[in-house]
Structure 1
Amino acid sequence: MSEPYRNAAALPPDMTADTASRIADIAAEAITGIDPHTGLASDFLNQFNEVLMLLEVTGSDSDLGRDLHGWRPRGYVEHFETSHLRDSALVIEAYALCPVSVRRRFDRLSADLSAFILNGLADLRLIDGEAAQDARRMLAERIRRRVESLSAIIHPAERRFDNDTISALFGHVR
């Protein structure tokens, strides 16, 4: 059995000690990085990081632009079901064990980010030239902050509470 939850008093109210222990066991067994306290894997963020990379390198290259505008988000389970990871079943099991309060917030922010990206990409189609480059940079920065918010949910022990992180965490309220 894995080491118990780092701080049993800090367990989310909807997580039992047995669930926390099972998540920790899965995290120890899996090759894919699963946070032992939430049951979530940061590999899910790769689909959003792909958009960031494409926004940063897309210039006049129409092939990259097609890749960027052809991007479609996947939900957490779909992302891992379609991945070629050997331990995707473990990742999905850990996600199912994730406290509902954490999973709901994570899923909501993930869906919000997906919609934000799709809207931003649609807006980019209407702009060209230098204005498009500026818009891509601005969109990338906003996406990056939202990805950091998702990462903070996945890895709560690694949170940094600087002003940018706090603003990103509460940016969806505005």
Structure 2
Amino acid sequence: MPSHAPPATPSAAPSGAASEAGSEDAQFAAFQARAEAANLNPQTLLATDYLNHFNEIVMLIEMVGDMPDILEECREWAPKDYCAHFADSAFKDKELAIAAYAHVPARFKEPFEETISHLDHLVEQSIARLDEAIAAGDPEIIQVRAHAASRAIQRVMDVASSIIHGAERAMRQDEIDNLLQI
């Protein structure tokens, strides 16, 4: 006897992982729509304003070559993660930048965070090398190391900036180590 049951229809509500992925896609799209007007990259949801935290230390380190006393100010600089930077900043759309960070695609977020970790380490290493040069009392070495350190930090910042703008590759640790061979 044939069945009189109605044909099966697909469920209107996706289940489990599919539902979560759809929700995440919708949230990402919502942030993308607001990103450009807020000076966030719509592809990555990241903002170059974060790099201002590193611009400050680059300027200070460069000045150490001519004014070694500035190293004291360099020592006061501390790493600050992306969300903490925006929480403390005057960035107009800082709440959006903080909220959007949770939705940055992993293909950008992972190399970005790796690059920032390299930057933090490079700054710390640069300050230690400048300390050594100042203790040795050789103005020429101080000048050379200050210049090399500021350029090295700037190069890694350029990598971070490229990730903010859609690149998916971070520098390897050996590439960064080679920047400070002076």
| TM > 0.5 | yes
Give 1:44 deviation, angstroms: 0.5
1:144 to 150, 154, 157: 154
Which one has the largest radius of gyration? 2
Question: What is the one-letter code of the residue matched to 1:18?
Answer: A
CA distance in 1, matches of 2:172, 2:114: 13
Q: Which residue does the alignment assign to 1:13? A: none
Q: 1:119 to 1:93 in 2, by over 3 A?
A: same
State the 1:118 CA deviation.
0.7
Q: TM-score, normalised by structure 1?
A: 0.75
Structure 2 partner of 1:72: 78
1:68-107 superposed matches below 5 A: 68-107=74-113
Any conservation in 2 of the 1:27–1:34 contact (CA below 8 Å)? yes
2 CA distance for matches of 1:85 and 1:60?
A: 32
Q: Could you tell me which amino acid in structure 2 is paired with residue 146 of structure 1?
A: V
- Measure the CA separation in 2 of the matches of 1:62 and 1:135: 11
- For these two proteins, the number of residue pairs brought into alignment is 150
Partner of 1:153: 163
List gaps (5 residues or longer) in structure 1. 1-15, 160-165
Structure 1 residue 26: deviation in Å? Answer: 2.3
Which residue, 30, 44, 63 being the options, matches 1:22? 30
Q: Which runs of 5+ in 2 are unaligned?
A: 1-23, 176-182
Measure the CA separation in 2 of the matches of 1:153 and 1:60. 33
**Matched AA of 1:144:** Q
- For residue 131 of structure 1, the aligned residue among 134, 138, 141 is 141
RMSD value over aligned CA atoms? 2.5
Does the 8 Å CA contact 1:59/1:133 hold for their aligned counterparts? yes
What does residue 172 of structure 1 align with? 173
Structure-to-structure mapping, 1:51-66, within 5 angstroms: 51-61=57-67, 64-66=70-72
Aligned partners of 2:45 and 2:100 also within 8 Å: yes
